[in-house]
Amino acid sequence: MKKVYVNEDWCLACHLCEFYCAAANSGAPDMVKAFKSGKKPVPRIQVEEGSDVNFAVQCRHCDGKACVKGCITGALSIKDGVVVCDESRCVGCYTCVLSCPFGCIVIDEEGHRIQKCDLCTKNHDGEPACVQGCPNKAIVFEER
Amino acid sequence: MAIEFMNPLFEVIRDSDRCIKCRVCERQCANEVHKYDADLDKMISNEMTCVDCQRCVCLCPTHALKIRPNENQFRENANWTHQTMDEVYKQAGSGGVLLSAMGNPKDLPVYWDRILLNASQVTNPPIDPLREPMETKTFLGKKNQGITYDENGKAHYDKTPYLELDVPIMFSAMSFGSISKNAHESLARAATELGTFYNTGEGGLHRDFYKYGANTICQVASGRFGVFKGYLDAGAAIEIKMGQGAKPGIGGHLPGMKINDEISRTRMIPKGTDAISPAPHHDIYSIEDLRQLVISLKEATNWEKPIIVKIAAVHNVAAIASGVARSGADIIAIDGFRGGTGAAPTRIRDNVGIPIELALAAVDSRLRDEGIRNDVSVVVGGSVRSAADVVKAIALGADAVYIATSALLAMGCHLCRSCNTGKCNWGIATQRADLVKRLNPDIAAERLVNLVTAWDHEIKEMMGGMGINSIEALRGNRLMLRGVGLTQKELDILGIQHAGE
Amino acid sequence: MLQREGETRIPAGCAISGFINRSGRRTNGSVIVNSIGCMHERSNGLGGGFAGYGIYPEYKDQYALHVFYDSSEARIKTEAFLDRHFDVVNLSRIPVRKNPNITDEPLIWRYFVNPLPTKLQDSQLDERTFVARCVIKVNDKIDGAYVFSSGKNMGVFKAVGYPEDVGDFYRLEEYDGWAWTVHGRYPTNTPGWWGGAHPFSLLDYTIVHNGEISSYDANRRFIEMFGYKCNLLTDTEVITYIIDYLNRRIGMPLEDVAKVIASPFWSELESGKFSPEDTEKIRHFRNVYSSLLITGPFSIILGFNNGLMALNDRLKLRSMVAAEKGDTVYISSEECSIRTMCPDLDRIWSPRGGEPIIVTLDKDAQERVGK
Amino acid sequence: MNYVIIGNSAAAVGTISGIREIDPNGKITVISDEKYHTYSRPLISYWLQGKVTDKNIYYRDPDFYEKNGVETVFGKKVTKINTENKSVVLDDGISVPYDKLMVATGSKPFVPPMNGLDKVHYHTFMSYDSVKAIRSEIKPNMKVLIIGAGLIGLKAAEALSAYNAQITVVDMADRILPSILDVRAGVMMQKHIEKQGVRFILGTSADELTEHSAKLKNGVTVDFDMLIIAVGVRPNTELVSDAGGKVERGIVTDNTQKTTIDDVYAAGDCTVSHDASSDSDKILALLPNAYMQGEVAGRNMAGRENHYVNAIPMNAIGFFGLHIITAGSYDGEEFIDETENTYKKLVFRDNTLKGYILMGDVKRAGIYTSMIKERIDLGEVDIDMLKDRPQMMMFSKERREEKLGGIFR
């Protein structure tokens, strides 16, 4: 299955992936509108910055799937290998935040629910927004 | 605080309707122009340090940024231009020589743009490169070998070392030190994929890149940095750098702060020491000394590698080239006055040397007049900006061209001409690890390959239009050129007719 | 004012034709005149010419110089030059017949000469190079004089006009040769200068050519490094010099000459169609003699002291057919002109681009009629 | 193969999923004494609060059973497991045979003996039906007494505050949420909940109940319009113990989730689990635990041996917007970082992270959880980063590569 991978040699910690991700999943037609119309959209990818190493982390769609198994509402499920969240069913208990070994479940504090990377299966054709938006090809979408 | 006589060269125009305060501009500016102010909840700019490298503009996800020349101007004066005055202020403040980078930006004639190409009509057919073979393979080296046939009709001939190029375009010398390791890797990988060559410059060859040796030209310059037997053996050819178009008659100076571990190891000089290339080679004070170096290098490499001698285009370039052709060198590289540099004294860069077009025409004609054009190949550089420039250069008589500025542009350079600061935001002309990282060789090598491939396509289109299906039939084919708006003197030097003739 | 050949490049389309009898059997010149006549519309009346081989058996050891003079002064100057360098065995005006379509003829003279041994020795050149240099010198330096034929036992006849009229004018039915070539010219803007008509020749090399080569200036500027002077600025001239340089001076066989001037494409070389040894040799040619590659359309018939070579450019951008009947080989721009000479052929084919047809006199014929 | 599952909550669904991974065709029968499609027990407080509707309280889509080929028997209680003929007996006398049986009976509310309890109307807070009953009686500004300041009692308090109820919570312990929070965190949470108007009376219990008031042992009398008893739960173990299976605090299983009876498995709140963080056996009444035990059991029932290990106590819960995530055990060297609104406690022992409490800022807590579960040696991580916040950066490059599967040279 094609997944998003990050090559930390090339990650510049520019954080653009977070903004492209947030905008793509905001439902707004462009980035300006996504960020300028009230609620600040939440990225599902997070950049970790170090002194000389940086990388972005997002859902690994891992084999363990502890988040799905622990979900108390059934909001999280697996579609074609992709862990997806039905946000309308999430009550914000954060059991998945507790479970995810990569820290990839993102808390939407305003919405009192979680958000997570679904590889842009709901909003994009082709490559996920973070991959398209990475200026240094640090983020790739590929089969491994 | 003393009065600052100068004002910012550029203005940062930020469209607050578009700015989403993502701060990518702030994170990506090594000059610290942008800053997020939490109290104001907005981005603010310190324009004084902006060099107009366009990194922020390119990365801004909402296209909220523009960098424009500062509209603030000193009182208009055709003689004392704003820039001239700025330079006086700068020197009055610093007491130092002005430093610049990249090529001469002055409004001096660009002869490429005054030369037009021919195309076939009626009496002979243009050739469609998509339907017929169209050949750009080029050999560089001596072409004066004899051939004899024995009684059985079998040919006997000598072969001298040569370079075989799939495209008549090579990447010219840029040292590791002046540019980053990732930039070097990108050039090396691109040259390998393209079947052409890149040039180490005078900074030696990083251990990691010996594997690209078959596509590497190893330069020997006056500082002899990183030169040892293994280095000479590593490449496909050796280039003796006598001069550089951006700064003829001037050596080089890589400040100690750029000499990090890897550069120190590669250049074979202590870490943190300045790397100073003398103006002359101190073992070459005349042409016969050059001949000795050429022969020494050939001896050192078992006469297996062609030797390139690179000279800057100066007033008597034709005579110099004639001397070089007789020195035993296999290839002469001529660098025009618009050639780039990582750092040069501004006055030198802007006032010394001559245009490559004239130098090339003069050299090619001179070598033919002397009947020694076959003794050497001629490679020209110094602002070859497009496939059209390549075609014109070859028609004027060049065997191949060197490109560097175009290659840098392909990798992201925006010609802000601040290489000398070491803070290249594009990760090219810098050794700062966090900046070097910005140049991913996977991307840069691909872009270089794309550029040269695109040019090769265009060269083939233009050749096809002229009814030529092999690059060698274009070489020195000056009938394919016509001048526009040139004086008879210029036409004579270029050896071409005026348009309409 | 229109500029003549040598003052400017004049593109031209053309017709060519030729044949050779391998046994050395000589054929009357009228045959070749008829062959070009049927391709009348490929010429436009601005030039025609012939080369005949084996036509001067009685003077076969002398160089036959055919010269155009614009004036008597030019003739006097030239003859003085010739006297200084050659022993002139015979001189005469070339006999012509008045033809209403051939006008403005210059003075046309013929000299059978031997180089003066002392002069030849002084020059430190071989005999043929000495003769070639002298021819080039007359053409370059003596205003109004133009040597248009300089080989042994062969001759070039050319003029402004349609080739069939030129043949009539020169009374070619009075000459017999074992090989003939002919050229009908379709230049685009020549005022009609007799020297500009084809064939072009140097010593016994003659070239008739149909085409317009795009590599002209690359070839010219290269070949001029070797003592040649391209006065006429024509393709034919530069091709002749290239062949002279490679074949006579370097000693390259004509098969290899063809591989230089119409070299195989790199893709052909990589296809493995040549032996490794030939591949290596052709690679070497494409490196060292790269400036002698001729591009653009051409079909040429080269005449030389014991044969003909026909060659097309490597893309075959010009028509050329070849045919065989017994020991005679025919080459022409069009099949019709071959059928005119020989309606009943053994074989007729269209040679591939870049693949030369080289026909030489049989061994015994060479001894009989050649040299 | 004929599978029978008693119970219809997370462990049951996990069991179905585990079986179906391996055996797509075997017959599965789910028997539940409740009459509902599988619903999420923790959602009952959200339902009561109005955040979750009748429609989305369900744990799985309406076609879940159909898609998985499951037959359901709802509203019937299993009264007996007959191990001899491998069948279960329903309360209507019908016998259902099994080849493999899953006991996922969960737990029931524990109601301690109290004076006068038999005379008062009270609620528990455990099932859809229990919150439906509360919903039908609750009115604005009602006085509600909740006995029990644990997870259930406080969730009930949060839900009822949506009705402007005047809530008093009483607990015998002197702090709230003693099972998951330490004293400092408990105090912080208590203050937070008090700000929402909930009154706590701690360190005491009801001495005497009358119809609308409770007299506490400390002498205070609390009036109420509604009484909710939420002091704890007890596992439903009787079916197994009656059948001769081993039961301690809960049903005892091996790590394939098999009970001591052949072909009888158990999972979820009714079982005893092994807490890897404290290396002790206890009931881990947690939904993720129930699901994963069920899944492991299901696979074993269907014939693929696998084991459930690395279970630890863990909780993610929030009250009135203040979130808590905790995991592991708290016996060891402590690191505490506290601000006005956040609390963090990390507990180290044997050079590993053993437990943590995060309150207020719970972002990326799972990274800590994984450190406990995987027993990652502290020598492998950057301790300062670990203490700063959960982050992948604290791991070595190699460990990151393994975890994130990125390209590293």
Domain harbouring C276, CATH code: 3.60.20.10
Contact D128/A at CB under 8 A: no
Enumerate residues 6+ apart whose C-beta is below 8 A from B456: B136, B167, B169, B387
Q: At what angle do helices B441-465 and B181-194 cross, to 10 degrees?
A: 40
Closest CA to C260 of C287, C220, C284, C289: C289
What per-residue confidence (pLDDT) applies to C157? 97
Does residue C217 sit within a domain? Answer: yes
Can you tell me whether residue C61 is helix, strand or coil?
Answer: coil
Give the range among A40-49, A121-130, C276-285 with minimum mean pLDDT. Answer: A121-130
> Cβ separation of B61 and A52 shorter than 8 Å?
no
Partners of B475 on chain C (C-beta within 8 Å) are: 218, 290-291
Alpha carbon distance D14, A80 (integer Å):
19
Q: Name residue C18's amino acid.
A: G
What per-residue confidence (pLDDT) applies to B477? 97
> Cβ separation of B467 and C296 shorter than 8 Å?
yes
Any idea where the domains of chain B sit in the sequence? 10-96, 138-473
Q: Please compute the mean of the pLDDT values over residues B173-183 and round it to a whole number.
A: 95
Instruction: Name the pLDDT band for B144 (thresholds 50, 70, 90).
Output: confident
Residues 192-211 of D with CB under 8 A from A: none
pLDDT above 70 for C10 = no
pLDDT above 60 for B59 = yes
Partners of A19 on chain B (C-beta within 8 Å) are: 20, 22, 24, 61
Partners of B468 on chain C (C-beta within 8 Å) are: 214-215, 295-296
**Cβ-based interface (< 8 Å): residues of A facing D:** 3, 5-9, 48-50, 53, 55, 57, 60, 66, 69-70, 72-74, 88-89, 91-105, 107, 112, 140, 144
D296 contacts D18 by C-beta, under 8 angstroms: yes
Burial letters C127-140, b for 16+ CB under 10 A, else e: ebbbbbebbbebbe
Alpha carbon distance D29, D8 (integer Å):
10
Alpha carbon distance D361, B64 (integer Å):
34
Closest CA to B199 of B333, B289, B106: B333
Partners of B141 on chain C (C-beta within 8 Å) are: 287
pLDDT above 70 for B289 = yes
Burial class (CB within 10 angstroms; exposed 0-12, middle 13-18, buried 19+) of C1: exposed
Q: Please compute the mean of the pLDDT values over residues A131-142 and round it to a whole number.
A: 95
Q: Please compute the mean of the pLDDT values over residues D316-339 and round it to a whole number.
A: 95
What per-residue confidence (pLDDT) applies to D409? 36
Probe site for chain A from D364, D386, D408 (most A CB atoms < 10 A): D364
* C87 or C46, greater pLDDT: C87
Contact D325/A at CB under 8 A: yes
Q: How far apart are the first and last CA of chain D?
A: 50
Distance of CA B199 to the CA centre of its chain: 10
Contact B480/C at CB under 8 A: yes
Contact B41/A at CB under 8 A: no
Alpha carbon distance D157, D168 (integer Å):
8
Alpha carbon distance B49, B72 (integer Å):
16
Shortest CA distance from A41: residue in chain B:
B20
* C9 or B6, greater pLDDT: B6
Alpha carbon distance B477, B466 (integer Å):
11
Q: How long is chain D?
A: 409
Q: Please compute the mean of the pLDDT values over residues D61-89 and round it to a whole number.
A: 95
Alpha carbon distance D353, D366 (integer Å):
13
Q: Please compute the mean of the pLDDT values over residues D86-92 and round it to a whole number.
A: 95
Contact B443/A at CB under 8 A: yes
* D269 or C37, greater pLDDT: D269
Does residue C270 sit within a domain? Answer: yes
Does residue C103 sit within a domain? Answer: yes
Give the predicted TM-score (pTM) of the model: 0.91
Instruction: Name the pLDDT band for C12 (thresholds 50, 70, 90).
Output: low
Give the range among C29-43, C310-324, D17-31, D208-222 with minimum mean pLDDT. Answer: C29-43
> Cβ separation of B123 and C11 shorter than 8 Å?
yes
Does residue C2 sit within a domain? Answer: no
pLDDT above 50 for C285 = yes
Q: Which CATH class is domain B138-473?
A: alpha beta
Partners of A110 on chain D (C-beta within 8 Å) are: none
Tokens of B80: 């004392």
Alpha carbon distance D48, B381 (integer Å):
79
Q: Min CA distance, A22 vs chain B (Å)?
A: 11
Contact D8/A at CB under 8 A: no
What per-residue confidence (pLDDT) applies to A27? 87
The subunits that touch chain B, with at least 3 C-beta pairs less than 8 Å apart, are A, C
B342 contacts B419 by C-beta, under 8 angstroms: yes
Tokens of B301: 């490499």
Alpha carbon distance A20, A25 (integer Å):
9
Task: Provide the domain count of chain C.
Answer: 1
Mean pLDDT of chain C: 91
What per-residue confidence (pLDDT) applies to C368? 75
Partners of C281 on chain B (C-beta within 8 Å) are: 155, 157
Q: How far is residue B122 from each of residues B466, D245, D387, measured CA to CA in Å?
A: 12, 102, 81
What per-residue confidence (pLDDT) applies to C45? 81
Instruction: Name the pLDDT band for D408 (thresholds 50, 70, 90).
Output: very low
Q: Please compute the mean of the pLDDT values over residues D334-357 and round it to a whole number.
A: 96
What per-residue confidence (pLDDT) applies to B7? 87
Residues 5-44 of A with CB under 8 A from B: 9-10, 12-16, 19-20, 23, 30-32, 34-36
- Assess whether the previous peptide bond of D390 is cis (omega < 30° from 0): no
- Domains detected in chain A: 1-58+126-144 (3.30.70), 62-116 (3.30.70.20)
> Cβ separation of A52 and B433 shorter than 8 Å?
yes
Residue B459: CB atoms within 10 Å: 25
What per-residue confidence (pLDDT) applies to D109? 95
Tokens of D238: 């009787």
Residues 363-382 of B with CB under 8 A from C: 368, 371, 373-374
pLDDT above 90 for C3 = no
For residue range A115-126, list pLDDT tens digits in order.
999 999 887 767
Contact B474/C at CB under 8 A: yes
Probe site for chain A from D363, D388, D395, D397 (most A CB atoms < 10 A): D363
For residue C247, the 8-state DSSP code is I
Instruction: Name the pLDDT band for D404 (thresholds 50, 70, 90).
Output: confident
> Cβ separation of B27 and A9 shorter than 8 Å?
no
Kindly tell me whether chain A and chain B come into contact, counting contact as 3+ Cβ pairs under 8 Å: yes
Share of chain D above pLDDT 70, in %: 99
Does residue C4 sit within a domain? Answer: no
Report the relative pairing of strands B377-381 and B400-403 from DSSP bridges: parallel
pLDDT above 50 for D407 = no
Alpha carbon distance B43, B49 (integer Å):
16
Topology annotation, domain B10-96: Alpha-Beta Plaits (3.30.70)
Domain containing C240 equals 16-369
Closest CA to C333 of C17, C5, C105, C6: C17
B353: left (phi over 0), alpha (psi -120 to 50) or beta: left
Say whether the ipTM exceeds 0.90. Answer: no
- Domains detected in chain D: 2-107+234-301 (3.50.50.60), 117-229 (3.50.50.60), 321-404 (3.30.390.30)
For residue range B401-438, list pLDDT tens digits in order.
999 999 999 999 999 999 999 999 999 999 999 999 99
Contact C144/B at CB under 8 A: no
Alpha carbon distance B288, B283 (integer Å):
10
Give the residues across from B149 on adjacent strands: B155
Mean pLDDT of chain D: 94
Is C14 an active-site residue?
yes
Instruction: Name the pLDDT band for B252 (thresholds 50, 70, 90).
Output: confident
